[in-house]
Amino acid sequence: MTERVGSVIAKRYKVDKLIGRGGMADVYHGTDAVLQREIAVKILTDRSEIVRKRFLREAQSMAHLSHRNIVGVYDAGEDQDQLYIIMELIRGRTLKQASTEGISYDASLKIFIELLQALEYAHKQSVIHRDIKPANIMILDNGEVKVMDFGLSRRVSDASSVTQAGEIVGTIAYLSPERFLGKVTDHRSDLYSVGCVMYEIFTGDVPFKSPSDDLVSVIFAHVNETPASVRDKNPNLSPALERIIMKLLAKDPVDRYATASEVITDLENLSRTSSMTTSGAQAPPTPPPTTPGTPPTPAPRDLKSVLGTAIEAHRSGNPEAVKAMLSNAFRPAEMLRDAQRYVLTAMLAARKHDYVEGTKAYTAALDGFKAVNNELEYGRTAVRFAVMVVEQCAREEKVDDDKVDVAIKALSEALPVLRGKRLFSELEQGERTLYALRRIRVGTER
Protein backbone atom coordinates (compact mmCIF):
# COMPACT_ATOMS: atom_id res chain seq x y z
CA MET A 1 0.00 0.00 0.00
CA THR A 2 1.09 3.58 -0.54
CA GLU A 3 1.44 4.21 3.21
CA ARG A 4 4.58 2.08 3.09
CA VAL A 5 6.26 4.68 0.89
CA GLY A 6 8.74 6.61 3.01
CA SER A 7 8.94 3.93 5.71
CA VAL A 8 12.16 2.19 6.74
CA ILE A 9 12.34 -1.59 7.12
CA ALA A 10 14.72 -3.25 9.57
CA LYS A 11 16.21 0.20 10.28
CA ARG A 12 18.04 -0.04 6.96
CA TYR A 13 15.86 -0.30 3.85
CA LYS A 14 13.97 2.84 2.85
CA VAL A 15 10.82 2.28 0.78
CA ASP A 16 10.72 4.88 -2.01
CA LYS A 17 7.88 4.09 -4.44
CA LEU A 18 5.59 1.30 -5.62
CA ILE A 19 6.79 -0.34 -8.87
CA GLY A 20 4.78 -3.55 -9.03
CA ARG A 21 1.81 -5.33 -7.52
CA GLY A 22 1.10 -9.06 -7.45
CA GLY A 23 -1.42 -11.43 -5.99
CA MET A 24 0.32 -11.87 -2.67
CA ALA A 25 3.00 -9.17 -2.52
CA ASP A 26 3.87 -5.63 -3.61
CA VAL A 27 7.26 -4.60 -4.95
CA TYR A 28 8.81 -1.21 -4.20
CA HIS A 29 11.83 0.70 -5.36
CA GLY A 30 14.01 1.19 -2.31
CA THR A 31 17.40 2.28 -1.00
CA ASP A 32 19.82 0.35 1.18
CA ALA A 33 20.97 3.01 3.65
CA VAL A 34 24.01 0.97 4.69
CA LEU A 35 25.43 0.13 1.26
CA GLN A 36 23.93 3.19 -0.45
CA ARG A 37 22.51 1.25 -3.40
CA GLU A 38 19.14 0.94 -5.08
CA ILE A 39 17.17 -2.18 -4.29
CA ALA A 40 13.80 -3.81 -4.85
CA VAL A 41 11.72 -4.41 -1.72
CA LYS A 42 9.10 -7.15 -1.91
CA ILE A 43 6.53 -6.94 0.90
CA LEU A 44 3.94 -9.62 1.61
CA THR A 45 0.34 -8.41 1.53
CA ASP A 46 -1.45 -11.74 1.99
CA ARG A 47 -1.69 -12.68 5.66
CA SER A 48 -2.69 -16.35 5.31
CA GLU A 49 -0.33 -18.86 6.88
CA ILE A 50 0.10 -20.90 3.70
CA VAL A 51 1.13 -17.79 1.76
CA ARG A 52 3.52 -16.70 4.51
CA LYS A 53 5.24 -20.07 4.28
CA ARG A 54 5.42 -19.84 0.51
CA PHE A 55 6.81 -16.31 0.74
CA LEU A 56 9.57 -17.41 3.09
CA ARG A 57 10.28 -20.41 0.88
CA GLU A 58 10.78 -18.04 -2.03
CA ALA A 59 13.39 -16.13 -0.06
CA GLN A 60 15.13 -19.34 0.99
CA SER A 61 15.12 -20.72 -2.57
CA MET A 62 16.49 -17.56 -4.15
CA ALA A 63 18.96 -16.62 -1.42
CA HIS A 64 21.36 -19.44 -2.24
CA LEU A 65 21.06 -19.02 -6.01
CA SER A 66 23.82 -16.88 -7.45
CA HIS A 67 23.66 -16.67 -11.23
CA ARG A 68 23.81 -13.74 -13.64
CA ASN A 69 20.44 -14.73 -15.15
CA ILE A 70 18.59 -15.02 -11.83
CA VAL A 71 17.39 -12.02 -9.83
CA GLY A 72 19.59 -11.84 -6.75
CA VAL A 73 18.24 -11.86 -3.18
CA TYR A 74 20.22 -9.82 -0.66
CA ASP A 75 18.19 -10.21 2.50
CA ALA A 76 14.87 -11.41 3.90
CA GLY A 77 13.09 -11.26 7.19
CA GLU A 78 10.22 -9.96 9.28
CA ASP A 79 9.87 -6.47 10.71
CA GLN A 80 6.88 -5.49 12.83
CA ASP A 81 4.89 -8.53 11.63
CA GLN A 82 5.75 -7.61 8.02
CA LEU A 83 7.53 -10.17 5.83
CA TYR A 84 9.94 -8.73 3.29
CA ILE A 85 12.56 -9.75 0.73
CA ILE A 86 15.32 -7.39 -0.41
CA MET A 87 16.26 -8.08 -4.02
CA GLU A 88 18.40 -6.86 -6.86
CA LEU A 89 16.74 -3.94 -8.63
CA ILE A 90 16.44 -4.62 -12.33
CA ARG A 91 15.30 -2.32 -15.11
CA GLY A 92 13.68 -3.65 -18.23
CA ARG A 93 10.55 -5.32 -19.51
CA THR A 94 8.98 -8.71 -18.98
CA LEU A 95 9.10 -11.09 -21.92
CA LYS A 96 5.33 -10.70 -22.08
CA GLN A 97 5.71 -6.93 -22.59
CA ALA A 98 8.65 -7.25 -24.98
CA SER A 99 6.87 -9.77 -27.20
CA THR A 100 4.09 -7.29 -27.98
CA GLU A 101 6.66 -4.79 -29.24
CA GLY A 102 8.72 -7.13 -31.38
CA ILE A 103 11.78 -9.33 -30.77
CA SER A 104 14.08 -10.49 -33.54
CA TYR A 105 14.46 -14.21 -34.18
CA ASP A 106 18.11 -14.24 -33.08
CA ALA A 107 17.27 -12.25 -29.95
CA SER A 108 14.49 -14.73 -29.14
CA LEU A 109 16.92 -17.65 -29.35
CA LYS A 110 19.35 -15.77 -27.09
CA ILE A 111 16.59 -15.13 -24.55
CA PHE A 112 15.70 -18.81 -24.31
CA ILE A 113 19.33 -19.88 -24.12
CA GLU A 114 19.87 -17.55 -21.15
CA LEU A 115 16.59 -18.66 -19.53
CA LEU A 116 17.69 -22.28 -19.82
CA GLN A 117 21.14 -21.45 -18.45
CA ALA A 118 19.44 -20.02 -15.36
CA LEU A 119 17.27 -23.12 -14.99
CA GLU A 120 20.20 -25.48 -15.56
CA TYR A 121 22.02 -23.77 -12.70
CA ALA A 122 18.94 -23.86 -10.42
CA HIS A 123 18.24 -27.49 -11.22
CA LYS A 124 21.80 -28.43 -10.28
CA GLN A 125 21.09 -26.76 -6.93
CA SER A 126 18.01 -29.03 -6.63
CA VAL A 127 15.62 -26.10 -7.11
CA ILE A 128 12.67 -26.26 -9.49
CA HIS A 129 11.10 -22.95 -10.48
CA ARG A 130 7.59 -24.34 -11.15
CA ASP A 131 6.15 -21.08 -12.49
CA ILE A 132 7.98 -20.31 -15.74
CA LYS A 133 5.90 -17.91 -17.85
CA PRO A 134 6.55 -14.72 -19.85
CA ALA A 135 5.62 -12.48 -16.91
CA ASN A 136 8.42 -14.03 -14.82
CA ILE A 137 11.16 -13.52 -17.41
CA MET A 138 12.71 -10.06 -17.44
CA ILE A 139 14.59 -8.60 -20.40
CA LEU A 140 16.99 -5.94 -19.15
CA ASP A 141 17.74 -2.77 -21.08
CA ASN A 142 21.05 -4.33 -22.22
CA GLY A 143 19.25 -7.45 -23.51
CA GLU A 144 20.28 -9.71 -20.64
CA VAL A 145 17.71 -12.12 -19.20
CA LYS A 146 16.77 -12.30 -15.53
CA VAL A 147 14.47 -15.00 -14.18
CA MET A 148 12.42 -13.83 -11.23
CA ASP A 149 9.74 -14.98 -8.81
CA PHE A 150 10.85 -18.34 -7.50
CA GLY A 151 7.85 -18.06 -5.20
CA LEU A 152 6.51 -21.45 -6.23
CA SER A 153 9.89 -23.17 -6.26
CA ARG A 154 10.90 -25.76 -3.73
CA ARG A 155 13.92 -27.88 -3.04
CA VAL A 156 13.59 -31.32 -4.59
CA SER A 157 14.82 -32.92 -1.37
CA ASP A 158 12.09 -31.23 0.69
CA ALA A 159 9.49 -33.92 1.28
CA SER A 160 7.09 -31.52 2.97
CA SER A 161 4.75 -29.41 0.90
CA VAL A 162 2.68 -26.36 1.71
CA THR A 163 0.58 -26.78 -1.41
CA GLN A 164 -2.86 -27.93 -0.35
CA ALA A 165 -4.23 -31.13 -1.86
CA GLY A 166 -5.82 -30.53 -5.23
CA GLU A 167 -4.51 -26.96 -5.44
CA ILE A 168 -3.15 -25.98 -8.84
CA VAL A 169 -0.61 -23.21 -8.33
CA GLY A 170 0.81 -21.21 -11.21
CA THR A 171 -0.51 -20.18 -14.59
CA ILE A 172 -2.62 -22.81 -16.32
CA ALA A 173 -1.34 -22.08 -19.84
CA TYR A 174 2.25 -23.05 -18.94
CA LEU A 175 1.88 -25.96 -16.51
CA SER A 176 2.99 -29.51 -17.31
CA PRO A 177 0.56 -32.45 -17.55
CA GLU A 178 2.03 -34.10 -14.44
CA ARG A 179 1.19 -31.02 -12.39
CA PHE A 180 -2.51 -31.45 -13.21
CA LEU A 181 -2.40 -35.20 -12.57
CA GLY A 182 -0.92 -34.71 -9.11
CA LYS A 183 2.18 -36.70 -9.97
CA VAL A 184 5.65 -36.08 -8.59
CA THR A 185 7.33 -33.32 -10.61
CA ASP A 186 10.99 -32.69 -11.28
CA HIS A 187 13.07 -30.29 -13.38
CA ARG A 188 11.49 -31.60 -16.59
CA SER A 189 8.27 -29.87 -15.56
CA ASP A 190 10.15 -26.56 -15.90
CA LEU A 191 11.29 -27.64 -19.37
CA TYR A 192 7.67 -28.26 -20.41
CA SER A 193 6.84 -24.72 -19.28
CA VAL A 194 9.78 -23.40 -21.33
CA GLY A 195 8.30 -25.23 -24.32
CA CYS A 196 4.94 -23.50 -23.75
CA VAL A 197 6.64 -20.09 -23.63
CA MET A 198 8.70 -20.83 -26.77
CA TYR A 199 5.57 -21.96 -28.59
CA GLU A 200 3.86 -18.69 -27.69
CA ILE A 201 6.77 -16.42 -28.61
CA PHE A 202 7.44 -18.08 -31.97
CA THR A 203 3.80 -18.56 -33.04
CA GLY A 204 1.97 -15.78 -31.19
CA ASP A 205 -0.24 -18.27 -29.33
CA VAL A 206 -0.03 -20.59 -26.32
CA PRO A 207 -0.22 -24.34 -27.10
CA PHE A 208 -3.62 -24.75 -25.45
CA LYS A 209 -6.30 -22.18 -24.74
CA SER A 210 -10.05 -21.85 -24.47
CA PRO A 211 -11.88 -18.97 -26.19
CA SER A 212 -14.43 -19.13 -23.37
CA ASP A 213 -11.77 -19.27 -20.62
CA ASP A 214 -12.85 -22.81 -19.75
CA LEU A 215 -9.96 -23.88 -17.51
CA VAL A 216 -11.13 -27.50 -17.43
CA SER A 217 -10.81 -27.79 -21.21
CA VAL A 218 -7.32 -26.25 -21.08
CA ILE A 219 -6.24 -28.71 -18.40
CA PHE A 220 -7.70 -31.59 -20.42
CA ALA A 221 -5.77 -30.42 -23.48
CA HIS A 222 -2.46 -30.26 -21.58
CA VAL A 223 -2.97 -33.83 -20.41
CA ASN A 224 -4.49 -35.45 -23.50
CA GLU A 225 -4.09 -33.41 -26.68
CA THR A 226 -1.20 -32.72 -29.03
CA PRO A 227 -0.73 -29.01 -29.75
CA ALA A 228 -1.10 -27.77 -33.31
CA SER A 229 2.10 -28.00 -35.31
CA VAL A 230 4.37 -25.01 -34.76
CA ARG A 231 5.01 -24.68 -38.49
CA ASP A 232 1.30 -24.85 -39.27
CA LYS A 233 0.92 -21.70 -37.19
CA ASN A 234 4.12 -20.13 -38.51
CA PRO A 235 5.42 -21.79 -41.70
CA ASN A 236 8.49 -19.53 -41.68
CA LEU A 237 9.98 -21.45 -38.75
CA SER A 238 12.56 -24.16 -39.37
CA PRO A 239 11.80 -27.86 -38.83
CA ALA A 240 14.70 -27.93 -36.35
CA LEU A 241 13.09 -25.31 -34.10
CA GLU A 242 9.76 -27.12 -34.31
CA ARG A 243 11.41 -30.37 -33.19
CA ILE A 244 12.95 -28.63 -30.17
CA ILE A 245 9.65 -27.08 -29.08
CA MET A 246 7.59 -30.22 -29.62
CA LYS A 247 10.11 -32.34 -27.70
CA LEU A 248 9.85 -29.94 -24.77
CA LEU A 249 6.05 -30.31 -24.92
CA ALA A 250 6.04 -34.12 -24.75
CA LYS A 251 3.30 -35.40 -22.41
CA ASP A 252 5.56 -37.91 -20.72
CA PRO A 253 8.58 -36.33 -18.98
CA VAL A 254 10.68 -39.29 -20.18
CA ASP A 255 10.14 -38.15 -23.78
CA ARG A 256 11.32 -34.59 -23.11
CA TYR A 257 14.87 -33.33 -22.93
CA ALA A 258 16.65 -34.82 -19.92
CA THR A 259 18.31 -31.53 -18.93
CA ALA A 260 18.23 -27.84 -19.75
CA SER A 261 21.79 -28.09 -21.04
CA GLU A 262 20.64 -30.45 -23.81
CA VAL A 263 18.14 -27.85 -24.99
CA ILE A 264 20.82 -25.17 -24.83
CA THR A 265 23.07 -27.23 -27.10
CA ASP A 266 20.33 -27.64 -29.71
CA LEU A 267 19.39 -23.95 -29.58
CA GLU A 268 23.01 -22.85 -29.89
CA ASN A 269 23.44 -25.11 -32.93
CA LEU A 270 20.27 -23.67 -34.42
CA SER A 271 21.45 -20.13 -33.71
CA ARG A 272 24.69 -20.78 -35.58
CA THR A 273 23.10 -22.39 -38.62
CA SER A 274 19.79 -20.60 -39.08
CA SER A 275 19.16 -17.16 -40.52
CA MET A 276 15.37 -17.55 -40.68
CA THR A 277 13.26 -15.09 -38.66
CA THR A 278 10.01 -15.76 -36.84
CA SER A 279 6.59 -14.15 -36.67
CA GLY A 280 4.01 -13.52 -33.98
CA ALA A 281 5.43 -10.54 -32.13
CA GLN A 282 8.72 -10.89 -33.92
CA ALA A 283 10.52 -8.45 -36.21
CA PRO A 284 13.00 -9.61 -38.87
CA PRO A 285 16.58 -8.64 -38.02
CA THR A 286 17.31 -6.90 -41.30
CA PRO A 287 15.06 -5.50 -44.02
CA PRO A 288 15.10 -7.30 -47.37
CA PRO A 289 16.96 -5.53 -50.19
CA THR A 290 14.04 -5.06 -52.57
CA THR A 291 11.94 -1.91 -52.18
CA PRO A 292 8.44 -2.84 -50.88
CA GLY A 293 5.82 -2.55 -53.57
CA THR A 294 8.31 -3.07 -56.42
CA PRO A 295 7.80 -6.41 -58.23
CA PRO A 296 11.03 -8.45 -58.18
CA THR A 297 12.76 -9.28 -61.43
CA PRO A 298 11.43 -12.62 -62.78
CA ALA A 299 13.73 -15.50 -61.92
CA PRO A 300 15.15 -17.92 -64.49
CA ARG A 301 13.01 -21.03 -64.80
CA ASP A 302 15.48 -23.61 -66.18
CA LEU A 303 18.04 -24.09 -63.39
CA LYS A 304 19.71 -27.05 -65.10
CA SER A 305 20.33 -24.97 -68.22
CA VAL A 306 21.76 -22.08 -66.21
CA LEU A 307 24.16 -24.33 -64.31
CA GLY A 308 25.25 -26.03 -67.52
CA THR A 309 26.04 -22.68 -69.09
CA ALA A 310 27.97 -21.67 -65.94
CA ILE A 311 30.12 -24.78 -66.20
CA GLU A 312 30.93 -23.98 -69.82
CA ALA A 313 31.84 -20.41 -68.86
CA HIS A 314 34.16 -21.74 -66.14
CA ARG A 315 35.89 -24.01 -68.63
CA SER A 316 36.38 -21.09 -71.00
CA GLY A 317 38.03 -19.03 -68.24
CA ASN A 318 35.30 -16.43 -67.73
CA PRO A 319 34.86 -16.15 -63.92
CA GLU A 320 32.64 -13.05 -64.10
CA ALA A 321 30.17 -14.88 -66.29
CA VAL A 322 30.19 -17.80 -63.85
CA LYS A 323 29.37 -15.45 -60.95
CA ALA A 324 26.54 -13.83 -62.88
CA MET A 325 25.03 -17.16 -63.91
CA LEU A 326 25.24 -18.65 -60.44
CA SER A 327 23.68 -15.50 -59.05
CA ASN A 328 20.77 -16.02 -61.45
CA ALA A 329 20.57 -19.68 -60.50
CA PHE A 330 20.20 -18.91 -56.81
CA ARG A 331 17.94 -15.91 -57.29
CA PRO A 332 14.68 -17.87 -56.78
CA ALA A 333 15.80 -19.01 -53.32
CA GLU A 334 16.82 -15.45 -52.44
CA MET A 335 13.54 -14.06 -53.69
CA LEU A 336 11.61 -16.64 -51.66
CA ARG A 337 13.58 -15.70 -48.55
CA ASP A 338 12.94 -12.00 -49.17
CA ALA A 339 9.21 -12.64 -49.65
CA GLN A 340 9.09 -14.54 -46.37
CA ARG A 341 10.79 -11.63 -44.63
CA TYR A 342 8.23 -9.26 -46.08
CA VAL A 343 5.49 -11.43 -44.60
CA LEU A 344 7.11 -11.15 -41.18
CA THR A 345 7.46 -7.38 -41.53
CA ALA A 346 3.81 -7.13 -42.55
CA MET A 347 2.57 -9.29 -39.67
CA LEU A 348 4.49 -7.18 -37.16
CA ALA A 349 3.16 -3.97 -38.72
CA ALA A 350 -0.41 -5.32 -38.62
CA ARG A 351 -0.06 -6.16 -34.92
CA LYS A 352 0.97 -2.54 -34.33
CA HIS A 353 -1.89 -1.31 -36.56
CA ASP A 354 0.62 0.27 -38.94
CA TYR A 355 -1.46 -0.42 -42.03
CA VAL A 356 0.65 1.65 -44.41
CA GLU A 357 3.80 -0.37 -43.71
CA GLY A 358 1.76 -3.57 -43.55
CA THR A 359 0.26 -2.97 -47.00
CA LYS A 360 3.65 -2.24 -48.57
CA ALA A 361 5.21 -5.36 -47.08
CA TYR A 362 2.29 -7.67 -47.88
CA THR A 363 2.17 -6.39 -51.47
CA ALA A 364 5.90 -6.99 -51.90
CA ALA A 365 5.52 -10.48 -50.42
CA LEU A 366 2.68 -11.33 -52.81
CA ASP A 367 4.74 -10.11 -55.77
CA GLY A 368 7.71 -12.18 -54.58
CA PHE A 369 5.74 -15.40 -54.14
CA LYS A 370 4.12 -14.91 -57.54
CA ALA A 371 7.52 -14.34 -59.18
CA VAL A 372 8.82 -17.71 -57.92
CA ASN A 373 5.50 -19.49 -58.57
CA ASN A 374 4.98 -20.38 -54.91
CA GLU A 375 1.21 -20.67 -54.97
CA LEU A 376 0.87 -22.02 -51.44
CA GLU A 377 2.67 -19.13 -49.74
CA TYR A 378 0.93 -16.68 -52.05
CA GLY A 379 -2.43 -18.05 -50.93
CA ARG A 380 -1.61 -17.94 -47.23
CA THR A 381 -0.19 -14.43 -47.50
CA ALA A 382 -3.23 -13.23 -49.43
CA VAL A 383 -5.45 -14.36 -46.55
CA ARG A 384 -3.27 -12.56 -43.99
CA PHE A 385 -3.28 -9.39 -46.08
CA ALA A 386 -7.05 -9.47 -46.57
CA VAL A 387 -7.66 -10.01 -42.86
CA MET A 388 -5.49 -6.96 -42.13
CA VAL A 389 -7.47 -4.85 -44.61
CA VAL A 390 -10.76 -5.88 -43.01
CA GLU A 391 -9.33 -5.01 -39.59
CA GLN A 392 -8.23 -1.60 -40.87
CA CYS A 393 -11.67 -0.93 -42.31
CA ALA A 394 -13.22 -1.81 -38.95
CA ARG A 395 -10.88 0.52 -37.08
CA GLU A 396 -10.85 3.50 -39.44
CA GLU A 397 -13.69 5.51 -40.93
CA LYS A 398 -11.92 6.19 -44.21
CA VAL A 399 -11.60 3.18 -46.50
CA ASP A 400 -8.93 2.99 -49.19
CA ASP A 401 -10.85 1.61 -52.19
CA ASP A 402 -7.69 0.65 -54.08
CA LYS A 403 -6.40 -1.36 -51.13
CA VAL A 404 -9.72 -3.19 -50.80
CA ASP A 405 -9.65 -3.97 -54.52
CA VAL A 406 -6.09 -5.34 -54.30
CA ALA A 407 -7.07 -7.53 -51.35
CA ILE A 408 -10.16 -8.81 -53.16
CA LYS A 409 -8.10 -9.65 -56.26
CA ALA A 410 -5.36 -11.43 -54.26
CA LEU A 411 -7.89 -13.39 -52.21
CA SER A 412 -9.86 -14.37 -55.30
CA GLU A 413 -6.66 -15.81 -56.79
CA ALA A 414 -5.74 -17.51 -53.51
CA LEU A 415 -8.97 -19.37 -52.75
CA PRO A 416 -8.68 -21.93 -55.59
CA VAL A 417 -5.12 -22.68 -54.47
CA LEU A 418 -6.19 -23.22 -50.86
CA ARG A 419 -9.07 -25.38 -52.05
CA GLY A 420 -6.73 -27.46 -54.20
CA LYS A 421 -4.28 -27.89 -51.32
CA ARG A 422 -7.19 -28.92 -49.05
CA LEU A 423 -6.30 -26.24 -46.51
CA PHE A 424 -9.88 -26.05 -45.31
CA SER A 425 -9.31 -23.90 -42.22
CA GLU A 426 -7.51 -21.19 -44.21
CA LEU A 427 -10.01 -21.61 -47.05
CA GLU A 428 -12.91 -20.97 -44.68
CA GLN A 429 -11.21 -17.91 -43.24
CA GLY A 430 -10.44 -16.65 -46.75
CA GLU A 431 -14.02 -17.08 -47.93
CA ARG A 432 -15.39 -15.21 -44.91
CA THR A 433 -12.87 -12.42 -45.41
CA LEU A 434 -13.63 -12.14 -49.13
CA TYR A 435 -17.34 -11.83 -48.33
CA ALA A 436 -16.55 -9.07 -45.82
CA LEU A 437 -14.35 -7.22 -48.31
CA ARG A 438 -17.03 -7.31 -50.99
CA ARG A 439 -19.58 -5.90 -48.56
CA ILE A 440 -17.15 -3.15 -47.63
CA ARG A 441 -16.55 -2.37 -51.33
CA VAL A 442 -20.27 -2.15 -52.03
CA GLY A 443 -20.68 0.14 -49.03
CA THR A 444 -18.09 2.58 -50.39
CA GLU A 445 -19.81 2.77 -53.77
CA ARG A 446 -23.07 4.06 -52.33
Q: What are phi and psi of 384, to 5 degrees?
A: -60, -45
Q: Which of 35, 25, 22, 33 is nearest to 4 (CA)?
A: 25
d(CA 364, CA 370): 10
Active-site entry in 131, 149, 190, 367: 131
Q: What are phi and psi of 376, to 5 degrees?
A: -65, -50
d(CA 373, CA 378): 8
Parallel, antiparallel or unpaired: strands 154-155 and 127-128: antiparallel
d(CA 59, CA 149): 10
Q: Which of 279, 305, 282 is nearest to 377 (CA)?
A: 279
CB 386 within 8 A of CB 430: yes
Strand stretches in 81-221, DSSP E: 83-87, 92-94, 127-128, 137-140, 145-147, 154-155
> Does residue 402 carry a catalytic annotation?
no
Q: Which of 283, 244, 322 is nearest to 106 (CA)?
A: 283
Q: For the CA atoms of 427, 431, 433, 439, what is the dihedral angle to 10 degrees?
A: 170
* CA terminus-to-terminus distance, the chain: 57
d(CA 236, CA 277): 7
Which residues have a catalytic role annotated?
131
